[in-house]
Structure 1
């Protein structure tokens, strides 16, 4: 395989016409230039120069290489400049995969912070709920994934290849229509809603609802289920049931005829960012993770702690 340093030396030998002239130009000794060219000839498997008197003449193979040397060096320079731009955060691309409420809150705040200071970085966003979002990360379809898990479940142990970056704990609220008998309370115990019908969310959210209700001593009568947060709120407002919803959702979207009450005892979900282990050292990925931490800190409701 050709070495970039050898290519540069070869180009200088061709330009100056001799090892000694190339040595003076590059600040090397003539033997050092000779060794570089011998190593290069071994790499390509054929002589590149032939001695003609005291001078040098390019062999046929040397002429082929000489015709391409300029292009090779230009491409190497271009690659080096692009890599340097990425390292200086003047360029690069980061693909984020997030669940809907995070893509409506944490992601815009983080992306805004980054694009203001690093406009050359391209950020792309797709939406998936966990665990599908983590699977996308493992497949290489995203660089940073936002996911969540519930506090009443043993913390997920992600693949050893993944790095988990805790962001925040998102409180769970009970949604009920504003005319519900308990709507004016400061908080509510799930046992007080044992006779109500329920509206469930995504598969993971539904599992959390069923577990919490079981702890409160009843099995919820789930009449509707929807992954659409607006649809859930509309169903609640119309009186078709009550629901559990993260405070993060209500921070940007609240139906005027819906009340959200904290649970007693409190419940929350852990929100985290994930990337492949070692990728946090990539400048643009590290920048995204830092911006997500800052966004989570700024948007965290008063009294709510960061995720462990």
Structure 2
């Protein structure tokens, strides 16, 4: 294995033609150059120079190394420049996997701020619901996952995964604007026992069914969809009501639907998840902090 410092000194000797000339160009002492060249020759296993009068002539091994030395140094310089750009947040790539309503609300605001402050950081977005999104994190398919949990059902995380809580998302009932319950500011789930329901993703549907069972009724679920736009459109057509998180209402506004908060208040927790070691990567840590700041602004609204 060659030492990059020795390659740099070797290149200077080749360019100057003498050890003293290389020492002057590099700001080294001549004995320091001599010692480095001896060390490089030991690593090569062959002399690199022979003396011809006062100048140095390359051996066959020296000529071979000289043909590669400049490319090696250029490659090292490019690598150093790119790594420096990443560590100083002038460049970097981060993969974020979020559930649809977070990707439509939290992330655009966070990414707009990131683009303004750090235009060299590039973020790619994936769309998936938990727990599948968390499995993608464990498989290395993303660097950050946004996911949610419901009360009484904490996420079972591997030891190397860190949870960063972002916000508590208020649950609401979505209904047509002409629905009798739409006249109220808050509603109870028990007031909708005879309704037809539109259910969401697997995790949301599981929580919904549990809450209904606690109240002693089994909801009549006529449609299931992970798409918030489809859900609201179905509600708008009078095909059913739906229990949805507040994030869904914040990015889809239909004049024909109304959202009313559940009473007593019910919420789901939205968090960012990242591998502990990835928090040491500057770009990843920056994106996490930017998403967290966007969530804090949303809570403060």
Q: TM-score, normalised by structure 2?
A: 0.92
Equivalent position of 2:125 in the other structure: 125
8 A contact 2:278–2:284 mirrored in 1: yes
Structure 1 unmatched runs, 5+:
303-308
- Offset at residue 301 of structure 1 (A): 6.4
Cα separation, 2, equivalents of 1:301 and 1:190: 27
- Offset at residue 30 of structure 1 (A): 3.5
Equivalent position of 1:305 in the other structure: none
SS of residue paired to 1:169? strand
| Number of corresponding residues | 301
Cα separation, 2, equivalents of 1:285 and 1:202: 28
Moved more, 239-248 or 47-56: 47-56
SS of residue paired to 1:195? coil
Cα separation, 2, equivalents of 1:77 and 1:283: 21
8 A contact 1:93–1:123 mirrored in 2: yes
Structure 2 unmatched runs, 5+:
none
Equivalent position of 1:208 in the other structure: 207
Kindly provide the CA deviation profile for residues 85-130 of structure 1, in whole angstroms up to 9, marking residues without a partner as x.
Answer: 2222222222221111111111110110011122222222121111
Cα separation, 2, equivalents of 1:236 and 1:214: 23
8 A contact 2:100–2:227 mirrored in 1: no
Moved more, 24-33 or 34-43: 24-33
Cα separation, 2, equivalents of 1:189 and 1:152: 20
Moved more, 62-71 or 274-283: 274-283
- Offset at residue 219 of structure 1 (A): 2.0
Kindly provide the CA deviation profile for residues 215-237 of structure 1, in whole angstroms up to 9, marking residues without a partner as x.
Answer: 22222221211112122122222
Cα separation, 2, equivalents of 1:268 and 1:279: 29
Equivalent position of 2:216 in the other structure: 217
SS of residue paired to 1:300? helix
- Offset at residue 210 of structure 1 (A): 0.7
- Offset at residue 7 of structure 1 (A): 0.6
Equivalent position of 1:244 in the other structure: 243
- Offset at residue 52 of structure 1 (A): 4.8
Cα separation, 1, equivalents of 2:51 and 2:32: 18
Equivalent position of 2:225 in the other structure: 226
Higher helix share: 2
8 A contact 1:175–1:243 mirrored in 2: yes
